[in-house]
């Protein structure tokens, strides 16, 4: 089976930078500006702009996330690369838009990458500053997806937030958290009424015996959606700040 070239995430990162460099020459926005604009537009975060604009672009840069334009396959799509234990970007989650070769109405998020090239547990948000914060506080806040992570960090940059990209964590994730010295886990998954939504958080309570686990309700369906209204964004900000020492 021949893999699509963009499954090599480092190659996609390089090619995207090249495409944006050409777009800038044509008077179009650079990668960071274009990504920021698309986030406000697609995630409907404009009502919370005053709460997040001071931190949003720095957070986007620290996560190495970007908007892949339609001029480049697999765009149009948001791309969230994952950093492995060696600091390499070998895996990514994408949110394809209509027109992308990855777009699927029944599967909103698609992973790309070459699995065997990735070393360690798959996390979003494991930059040096966040890991240092986790080590210092011995606490971690788990959210479900990368947009949830982005929303939380844009509101409260010091919040020790990580995401596995799913409603659960595996044994390798647990080992990683134990190595970091985590003793308190706050679960802030999607505030779903469904049984499935609740099971993810409750499963962590059962398996993470090395830490105290607290399950919190999000003020909206999920942290990303909380930024669609200023009221919910302020409530989420207060929840996150309450978790800080």
pLDDT at 128 over 90: yes
Per-residue pLDDT, 196: 45
pLDDT tens digits for range 198-229: 566 677 877 788 999 998 889 999 999 999 99
Determine the Cα–Cα distance for residues 35 and 104; give it in Å rounded to an integer: 21
pTM metric for this prediction: 0.93
pLDDT tens digits for range 35-67: 999 999 999 999 999 999 999 999 999 999 999
The pLDDT of 67-85, averaged and rounded, is 96
Two tokens, residue 94: 């994408």
pLDDT tens digits for range 184-199: 999 998 775 444 445 6
Determine the CATH number of domain 128-242: 3.40.1360.10
Q: Look at the alpha carbons of 217, 41, 157, 144 in this order and tell me if their dihedral is positive or negative.
A: positive
Domain regions of the chain by residue span: 5-117, 128-242
Which value, to the nearest 10 degrees, does the dihedral of the CA atoms of residues 186, 215, 143, 223 take? -120
Two tokens, residue 159: 């919040």
Residues 70 and 34: beta-carbon distance below 8 Å = no
User: Exposed (0-12), middle (13-18) or buried (19+): which is 189, by Cβ within 10 Å?
Assistant: buried
């Amino acid at each position: 089976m021949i893999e699509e070239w963009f499954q090599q995430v480092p190659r996609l990162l390089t090619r995207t930078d090249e495409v944006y460099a050409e777009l800038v020459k044509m008077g179009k926005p650079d990668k960071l500006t274009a990504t920021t604009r698309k986030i406000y537009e697609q995630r409907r975060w404009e009502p919370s702009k005053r709460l997040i604009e001071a931190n949003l672009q720095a957070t986007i840069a620290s996560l190495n996330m970007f908007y892949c334009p339609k001029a480049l396959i697999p765009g149009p799509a948001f791309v969230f690369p994952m950093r492995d234990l060696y600091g390499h970007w070998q895996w990514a989650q994408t949110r394809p838009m209509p027109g992308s070769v990855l777009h699927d109405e029944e599967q909103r998020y698609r992973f790309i990458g070459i699995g065997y090239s990735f070393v360690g547990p798959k996390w979003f948000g494991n930059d040096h500053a966040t890991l240092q914060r986790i080590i210092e506080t011995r606490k971690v806040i788990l959210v479900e997806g990368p947009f949830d992570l982005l929303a939380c960090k844009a509101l409260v940059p010091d919040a020790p937030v990580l995401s596995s990209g799913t409603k659960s964590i595996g044994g390798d994730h647990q080992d990683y958290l134990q190595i970091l010295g985590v003793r308190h886990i706050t679960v802030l998954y999607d505030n779903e009424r469904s049984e499935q939504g609740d099971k993810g958080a409750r499963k962590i309570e059962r398996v993470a015996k090395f830490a105290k686990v607290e399950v919190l309700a999000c003020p909206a369906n999920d942290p990303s959606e909380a930024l669609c209204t200023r009221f919910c964004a302020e409530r989420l900000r207060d929840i996150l700040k309450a978790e800080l020492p």
